[in-house]
Homo-oligomer: A and B are copies of this chain.
Amino acid sequence: MTIHCFEPMRFHSTLGPHEPVLHVADGDTVVALTVDAHGYNWRGEQVAARPNPQTGPFYVEGAEPGDALAVRFDRLTPIRDWGFTSSILAPDVVEPRFACELPAREWIRWRIDKASGTATQETHAGALGTFTVPLEPMVGCFGVAPAGGQAISTATSGPHGGNMDYRGFRAGVTAYLPVSVPGALFFLGDGHAAQGDGEVVGTGIETAFEMEVTLRVVKGKQINGPRGEDAVSIFTIGNARPLELALQYATTEMVRWLRDDCGLDLHAASLLLGQCVRYDIGNVYDPAYTVACRLQKQCLQL
Contact = CB atoms under 8 A, between A and B. Distances in A.
Interface of A: 13-14, 16, 85-103, 108, 119, 121, 125-129, 131-133, 148-153, 155, 194-201, 203-205, 240-245, 247-249, 251-252, 255, 262-281, 284, 289, 299, 301-302
Interface-central residue, A94, A100, A201, A272, by most chain B CB under 10 Å: A94
Nearest to A151: B151
B88 A267 contact: yes
B197 A125 contact: no
A86 B274 contact: yes
A215 B263 CA distance: 48
B91 A271 contact: no
How many monomers of this protein are in the complex? Answer: 4
Contacts of A263: 126-127
B275 A126 contact: no
B151 A93 contact: no
A40 B299 CA distance: 29
14 contacts: A14-B148, A91-B100, A96-B99, A125-B271, A128-B264, A128-B301, A131-B271, A131-B301, A194-B275, A196-B275, A241-B242, A242-B244, A243-B243, A243-B247
Contact of A153 (B96, B150, B242, B299): B150
A3 B110 CA distance: 52
Contact of A14 (B98, B150, B272): B150
Nearest to A203: B274
B152 A281 contact: no
Interface-central residue, A128, A133, A240, A265, by most chain B CB under 10 Å: A128
Contacts of A132: 301
Contacts of A103: 266-267
B88 A270 contact: yes
Contact of A95 (B126, B204, B252): B252
B197 A279 contact: yes
A270 B201 contact: yes
A134 to B, nearest CB: 9
Contacts of A201: 270-271, 273-274
Nearest to A259: B127
Nearest to A147: B153
A72 to B, nearest CB: 26
Contacts of A198: 247, 277, 279
Given A241-B241, A273-B201, A267 B100 contact: no
Contacts of A265: 126-127
B196 A276 contact: yes
Contact of A278 (B133, B197, B242, B270): B197
Contacts of A248: 92-96, 98
A22 to B, nearest CB: 21
